[in-house]
Structure 1
């Protein structure tokens, strides 16, 4: 399993800038999801 990850990382090298943009994108999506969940909040 560890070996697989190493191979994958070698196939897809990610530099710090790319990683930062990926994290930013993920945070944006999480924020949007949070907002959507609040809007769609259904009381049970």
Structure 2
């Protein structure tokens, strides 16, 4: 996992921590029924109060 557009070290670390807590994802399945590599960008927004 990597942060593509970071804001600050603290917010980037928090975003990674939250993603690591999420349930395991199922892999993409190709035409032949085997797991395929896939890349996904997950936008995360923070509201600072």
TM-score bracket for this pair, using the shorter chain length = 0.3 to 0.5
Give me the TM-score of the superposition, normalised by structure 1: 0.37
Comparing both structures, which one devotes a greater share of its residues to strand?
2
Where relative contact order (Cα < 8 A, 6+ residues apart) is larger, the structure is 2
Q: Which has the larger radius of gyration?
A: 1
Name the one with the larger helix percent: 1
